[in-house]
Amino acid sequence: MTKTAEKLKHLREKVADPDFQQSRGLSNEVSYYILAYEAQDQPLVTEEISNMRQQLNRETIGMDIVEFNLYQIMWELLDEMGIKQDVLEMEVNDGIDYLTEQLNNALEMTSSENMFVQYMQQHLPEEPVIAFVTGIGDIFPLIRAHKVLNTMHQIVTNVPVVFFYPGTYDNLSLSMFGESKEDNYYRAFQIN
């Protein structure tokens, strides 16, 4: 069994645990978790997320799992703003650095209530759920995971949140694909 498969098995067990579901035993910390994995294990992670969403639901564990794919959310938000085509052209005409800057401005990534966080807040059902955040590697380097994490915990506080991160997390810093270091983030627990 690979290290990623072991982490996914452990997550499956945690998700079914009432203490995890109710955020008990966290010393007043937010119920945020990061499952860091090797990028080449993405197909395994995607398949297991789908399996968990189908198999672990209100009937089996008393809660549903809601998935927020940041890549899909980004395109939905850009489409709603009417700038989706402009963004596609911007990368070709102006380069990735300019595109990254403009996307971060358009999606209000420096705001404590950036558009990703607002989207999740608006789309969280009222009944108890567990939130899975995916697509983090797909939006890199346009949007950095720590920008979502650092603002999300101020808004989404009443449900357990699991970030699926293709890279490493050492309880202090994130490193996308194990190579590109992001800003520090220390409020999430590792899924090992």
Q: pLDDT value at position 110?
A: 84
The number of angstroms, rounded, from the C-alpha of 47 to the middle of its chain's C-alpha atoms is 16
Three-state DSSP at 91 gives: helix
**Structure-token match 């119920």, residue found:** 31
pLDDT top residue among 161 and 26: 161
> Residues of the chain with pLDDT > 90: what percent?
53
* Residue 183 pLDDT greater than 70, yes or no: no
Q: pLDDT value at position 97?
A: 93
Q: pLDDT value at position 145?
A: 83
pTM across the whole model: 0.92
> For residue range 1-18, what is the model confidence (pLDDT) as tens digits?
789 999 999 999 999 999
Q: pLDDT value at position 25?
A: 66
First to last CA, the chain: 14
- Domain encompassing residue 115: 3-190
**Burial readout 75-95 (b: 16 or more C-beta within 10 A, e: otherwise):** eebbeeeebeeebeebeeeee
Rounded to whole angstroms, the Cα distance separating 83 from 91 reads 13
* Residue 182 pLDDT greater than 80, yes or no: no
H-assigned helices in the chain? 3-15, 18-21, 42-55, 58-61, 70-81, 84-94, 96-106, 115-123, 145-155
> For residue range 102-127, what is the model confidence (pLDDT) as tens digits?
999 999 998 878 999 999 989 998 88
| Pairing assessment for the beta strands 32-37 and 64-69 based on DSSP bridges | unpaired
Three-state DSSP at 180 gives: strand
pLDDT top residue among 183 and 83: 83
Give residue 148's pLDDT band: very low, low, confident or very high (50, 70, 90): confident
Rounded to whole angstroms, the Cα distance separating 107 from 115 reads 5
Rounded to whole angstroms, the Cα distance separating 162 from 31 reads 9
* Residue 57 pLDDT greater than 90, yes or no: no
Give residue 189's pLDDT band: very low, low, confident or very high (50, 70, 90): confident
- DSSP annotation of 172 reads S
Rounded to whole angstroms, the Cα distance separating 12 from 48 reads 9
Spatial contact of 149 and 188, defined as CB atoms under 8 Å apart: yes
Q: pLDDT value at position 165?
A: 94
What's the total number of domains in the chain? 1
* Residue range 18-32: mean pLDDT, rounded: 77
